[in-house]
Structure 1
Amino acid sequence: MFDVEKIRADFPALAQLINEQPLVYLDSAATTQKPLSVIAATEQFYARNNANVHRGRHTLSEQATHAYEQARATVADFFNIAINELVWTKGATEAINLVANGLTEQLNSNSVIIISPLEHHANIVPWQQLAKRTGATLLALPLQQDGRFNTQQCVEFIQQHKPNVLAITHASNALGNITPLEAILHAAKQQNTLTLIDGAQAALHLQPDLQQLDCDFYVFSAHKMLGPTGLGGLYGRYEQLNSLSVYQTGGEMIESVTLTETTFRQAPAKFESGTPNIAAVIAFAHAIEYLKALDTTNVYAHEQAIFNYAAKKLQSIDGITIYSDLKSNIGTLSFNYKDEHPYDIATLLDGFGIAVRSGHHCAQPLMQHLGINGSVRASFAFYNNHQDVDLFIAALQECIALLD
């Protein structure tokens, strides 16, 4: 039903040796590997179709413009949104900053912004800065000691504080835990709260239907969805996008300019100043087409099977503490071994060709909440197989033997 070996053949990076060992890539939460179609699309653009978009009447420019806007349509269809509700950004981080900056004129000292302790720094710092600019109160949803949300507590917290803005992750980058969004978003909607969902980690694995999810804004990064780095996107309800103040100014996003006054175009052009990352946009469309060609149910089942297999193996090792929610997870295992520093574990694993992440994962408030300085993070994607898990566990056991 799911031929993982056939899939792996599409990802050339997975076939290499690292430190004379087969690469076991378990850092997809940081960035996913790229299939051949994405690599070829990038090369094809620069080799044959390189031209700027929206500005020329010559053939190359018109071809580039068509491919660029067709890519927008492809990605919009993937998320089940309208074409004019998708803004290209440099990544999820810029998308969040765009919204936070754009809300400055809409908030004041009576406003309330709610985030959570589970967030990536990119979904904390922009809201801190917005609160400082406007005098708004910044609050955090309650989080259980084990790093999971109690849905009822979150709902009651929202009902109590009646926030103007709620910004929350779809899935934790540090733990992989999936947020119970349905009830939280419903509670927020009852309070007329603007909602922004950080989908950087979840978009690949959960492939959300944004009409069904019913949030106001959703952000994602192309490089965590098999696409190039330096590109991401912002979904926003059209009326909400147009209510935001402009983020950056320059060419492309203007309607008219005099020496003393400027008028701006409507979304999405309103937020797309300057020459865009054309090659990345076109290549990202190929990443989306690659995903759409796969059976979503089989992909998710495979990812969960690999995750559960790895979790069971990891749990069998004495001295291992796992922080991830093993029942509701996109496929990320965050753990430590006794009091050993996670950097040491990751460094030793690299000697065996195992690529994992270590540290605070840009989630220092969460690490403080858990009472740790950091963790080792093994994050899986659909191109991982059972052999990857076996090699990872065997290497980890050898690392532990060296440390003990």
Structure 2
Amino acid sequence: MKKTAALSVALTAFALSLTAHADVDVSLGSKERVTRLFAYPNNCNVICFRNWTLEQTVEHYLTQSVQRDGYPGARVSVTDDNAQLHAKISGVPDGYDKPLISLLNAGDLAYTGASKLNADGKFAYNWYLFLPLGMALENRKSVELLHFPPDYSLTQAQDYLRSATTDRWAALLTENGIPADQTPAFQTIIDIAPIAAPSNAGSDLEGVYSYFNDYQTTMVKDLSQSASGTALPMVAFGAPVRNWLKAQYNVNLPVLGLATISPTAGQSVSVIGANHPSYIWYAADKSNYGGDEDKADAAGLKVMGQDLSAACWQAGMGQTSGLDAATVLQQCTTHWQVTHKVDTCKLFYTSVRHLTPDQAAAKCRTGSVGRQLDQLRKPMPETLKTKA
């Protein structure tokens, strides 16, 4: 599985390198507009964490995008012409400006929503409007629907894909055959709340979604298809996102449930429900089970099986268009929850319990864990479902 996937991605990257040859000029708008859409300055409190100009900040995020699109030789230059900013991107195909312009136009909708939220006294002092900057703009393989970005992705990393959540999911994609340097192509993110906030702010943000309805639906419509018009698979992470899909598109989507939405008339987009990537830390917390380690491990193993299966589906659907979503999911759940359930077990103990590979292997051979592995495909306890 891994070798075939890696070869497919490598050939795609090679093909992209042969087509990147144009220069693209993009009008970004006024300095005022660019300042708010790029959250500038990203982190300045008297002393700037990175003492960048507005132009350097934009260059930083656009450079991330061209690299994640598979154009490592591309170059970005941003200039100020009478308070109007322009980006010149060399070494990319003709038309590369279109998805960037679409993102910024959607960003205007997000800014309008955030302004209304603030006018209603609901925008917290430690929140930041933060668009999904630095994503692959053109060569996307799949889309991830999430709740909100953690604040440190903006203020510390200046990288939308730098967080515990995205790092863990990237690791699961690599376990399913996607080379580590190619995972960003699968992780084009749409957060239903485009607000960088402290990691524990989830419950506070659950009441803000309606302010960003125009932004959300525009982003889903724009990103749900590739540059060639092919529908891209989506992963809906966490209960808030799956509930939002229910409200917006009238689909019921439990963990490892499948649905089809039509962001554009005549288009069918396959969506899978998944746990939030960080949910496993809650599910496997012994304090939820009165300190009972076996019960905590059993819950964690179940979530690991679900997460690996969802990442497997995402990897498979993202690499080859036209596959049957239900068939791919069945193959993935059988792989991780039946045929290779011991590998699932080892990954849980190495990545969540931080055991060595030898310790994990020994743990997965014990009788109690063996019985837990047999429970992998049984339902999650009701007390944990609401947070999944």
| TM-score bin (small chain) | under 0.3
TM-score, L = length of structure 2: 0.26
Length-normalised TM-score, structure 1: 0.26
